[in-house]
Structures are given as structure tokens and as C-alpha cells.
Amino acid sequence: MRALPIFLFAALVGTGTAQAQQLDSASQKLEMLGDAPVGCVANSARATSQVNATFQSNGPSGGVVVFPALVDQTTATARASSIALALPVVCNTSHRVTLRSSNGGLLREGANPGRNATGGFSEFQAYDVSVEWQGQSASIGGASASASLAQGQPAKGDMRIDIAVPQGTRPLVAGTYTDSVVVEIRPAN
């Protein structure tokens, strides 16, 4: 019977030795590092209001505004038309928004810019484009084919783009009238 208590004692001594050896420890410091690159992202625009105008989205790269009845059927002058677009934007740094038009207005395909057609007709229809972003605005139209605004801090939200074709005063020559408007959002750095 005496052998049993000795056996238990030896087991307890072995356990105590194992615990004492585990008290030695090591540590490592892990540092975390991540980088948020400078960037501005625009997603697909959507029409929020429209009069004699429609919008067809091409996804984040842009879209097409169509004026289904550009001219009045009895006078051949441009009909007043308008559309408002909301463009979701996120910029994680200060940035600049630039608005520019290729033709400065709707120009008939095949026409020479700055030249009027004969007989009191026109091959060009002016219109206005404005951008509102974070309490600032920029617009083009008339003699101005480009404009910009600077945002000094990161911002996100819907950029508003308004396009308005005024009632025309001269009849337009038959044809397709086009222009390209670019809204460029570029980080300042």
C-alpha cells in the first residue's frame, strides 16, 4: 500500500516541473500598415428630372442625353428642353472638377463650327450645362466651352448636372445635332 502514495507524489512533482518550464515566454510586436491611395470614383448617373429629354446610361463611363423632339414641327426652331442628372461621386482627397464641351453647343453633323447656314437657318444650337458639387457650381454655355471648380477636401455624394436647351430663335437645318460634354473629376495631388 505504500507504493501508491509514492507514485502519486512522483506524478505531482512531474506536473509541477512542467508548469514551471512553461513560465518562460517570448513576445513579438506586430505593426499594422495599410495605404489608401488617392482616388476619385464616379458611378452610373441617373436622371432626376427631364423635359423633352431622356438619359441612357452607359454605366460608370458615361451616357447619352437624347432630345427626342429637338425642333418644333411648325417653326423648325429648337424646343426648350432640360434634364437634371445625379452622378454619385467619392473623392478621398482634395480634387478638381472640370466641365468641358467639344463643340460649345449642339452642332449639326457635317457643319462647320462657327458658320451659319444661309437663308436665316442655323446649324448650331447653344445650350447651358452646370455642375453643382458640395456647395460650389461651375457652368458652360454661350462663349464658354469649359469651366472648373476646386474642392479642398475629401467629399462624397451626388453631383448634380443640369443641361438646358433654350427655345430657339432661328430655324435649324435638318440633320443630327451632337456634342460631347466631359465631366472630369481629378484628385488635386
Q: Read off the CATH number of the domain in which 100 is found.
A: 2.60.120
Q: How confident is the model at residue 40 (pLDDT cuts 50, 70, 90)?
A: very high
At 9, which helix (H) or strand (E)? helix 3-22
Q: Are 165 and 68 in contact (CB under 8 A)?
A: no
- Provide the residue range defining the domain that includes 77: 40-187
pTM for the full predicted model:
0.81
Does residue 129 lie in a domain region? yes
Residue 146 pLDDT > 60: yes
Torsion angle in degrees (nearest 10) through CA of 182, 95, 47, 110: -10
Does residue 23 lie in a domain region? no
Does residue 29 lie in a domain region? no
DSSP 154: -
Does residue 25 lie in a domain region? no
Question: What domain count does the chain have?
Answer: 1
